[in-house]
Structure 1
Amino acid sequence: MEETSFFKLCSFLMVVLMIDVQFLKSATSHNYTVGDEGNWNDEADFVSWSQKYKFKVGDVLRFKYVKGQHNTYEVTEATYRSCDASSGVLAKYESGDDQVKLTQAKKYWFICNIPGHCLGGMRFGIDVKEASASDPGANTPNSAISPPPGESSPPVSSCRSYDPVRWSMGIHLVAFGILL
């Protein structure tokens, strides 16, 4: 009998610890759908979109698009500025639902390498900062990197993205209820 109570107490403490970890994760990182509800396409203004947020290490960018019609390349600044991906490509994503975790405090540059798309505005740069506990996070203006002079894109509206961390926390709460 006493052994069963000890097991329940240990299980309870593990669930509480997992919930605490999930709260910490959700407080320090965010998932952003690139282009908000406009997604990653040739009609959105990605420079304006990137200026709406303050990106931190641990955040995730989600590029949603029709596979085969677009792609996502992480590139160097020179490749971003020239839209010539014959060199300077750091990573290629072509799934239609690409998730890029921002793992370092640095400038990131992204383009679509389908002919004409980058020059048409499917590109942006962001300056990712170290995460801090006192940082308010999402929806804070960011000093995003501007396109070369004379280039712009049409406006885009905003929408919150799906956050799997919150779903994970819900699953942990259900598991906790089952253990009781």
Structure 2
Amino acid sequence: MEDSKPCRYFSSVCTILAVLGLLVSGAASEVYTVGDSDGWNSAVDYGVWSQKYNFSVGDVLVFKYVKGQHDVYEVTESTFRSCDTSTGVLAKHTSGNDQVTLTEAKKYWFVCNVAGHCLGGMRFGIVVKGSITAESPAPAPQSGALAPPQINKNGDQALRGLSLWDYLILLGVSIQLCSVQ
């Protein structure tokens, strides 16, 4: 009878990788600094800034500003439109380095509550789409060609791992190979 230790070892490694992959497949997210290098201040057109990106559940917005000169309020749409924060405030951030995780697929609205700042343009709304794992895959490279690096939403090179289907296929292949023995 043939020794099946290599098969068991391979199967164990593949199973562990598949399980770990399934656990982290939806954990990839992007971090966006609001206003990019200009940060959160009255000199930026946040309508233009927010249109550059496609936001997904799990992404994080980082608001960088001088504490005491600005703040960040997450508000309802009507509060966003009126800039009147006497009602409709969902969350207040005042640290100067606030991180807001986008937890739901919905419209988010943000304003600066310092007098005159919201009406002066320190406000924006974004649409957050569902899970990033639902994105369509990049087209396969032509035979013999290396795929170009993926670029993330901030223009940096993105490191993408295997998809959920890749892990499931890997697990199925390892089970199939060992069941032949």
Q: So what's the TM-score if we normalise by structure 2?
A: 0.63
Map of 2:79 onto structure 1: 79
- Using the TM superposition, give the Cα deviation of residue 160 of structure 1 relative to its aligned residue in structure 2, in angstroms: 5.6
**2:114 paired with 1:114:** yes
CA distance in 2, matches of 1:138, 1:83: 32
Q: Residue by residue, what CA displacement relative to the aligned partner does 1:69-123 show, whole Å, maximum 9, x if unpaired?
A: 0000000001100111111100000000000000111110000000010011000
- Using the TM superposition, give the Cα deviation of residue 132 of structure 1 relative to its aligned residue in structure 2, in angstroms: 3.7
Map of 2:27 onto structure 1: 25
**Bigger-Rg structure (1/2):** 2
Letter in 1 for 2:89: V
Moved more, 127-136 or 82-91: 127-136
Q: 1:18 to 1:97 in 2, by over 3 A?
A: farther
User: Size of the alignment, in residue pairs?
Assistant: 134
Map of 2:163 onto structure 1: none
RMSD over equivalenced CA pairs, Å = 3.0
Which structure carries more relative contact order (alpha carbon 8 Å, separation 6+)?
1
Letter in 1 for 2:27: K
Map of 1:97 onto structure 2: 97
Map of 1:41 onto structure 2: 41
Partner secondary structure for residue 133 of structure 1: helix
Q: So what's the TM-score if we normalise by structure 1?
A: 0.64
Does the 8 Å CA contact 2:26/2:133 hold for their aligned counterparts?
no
Partner secondary structure for residue 95 of structure 1: coil
Residue ranges of structure 1 left out of the alignment (5+ in a row): 1-12, 140-158, 164-180
CA distance in 2, matches of 1:133, 1:19: 12
Identity of aligned residues (%): 56
After the TM superposition, list the runs of 4 or more consecutive aligned residues in structure 1 that deviate by more than 6 angstroms: 13-20
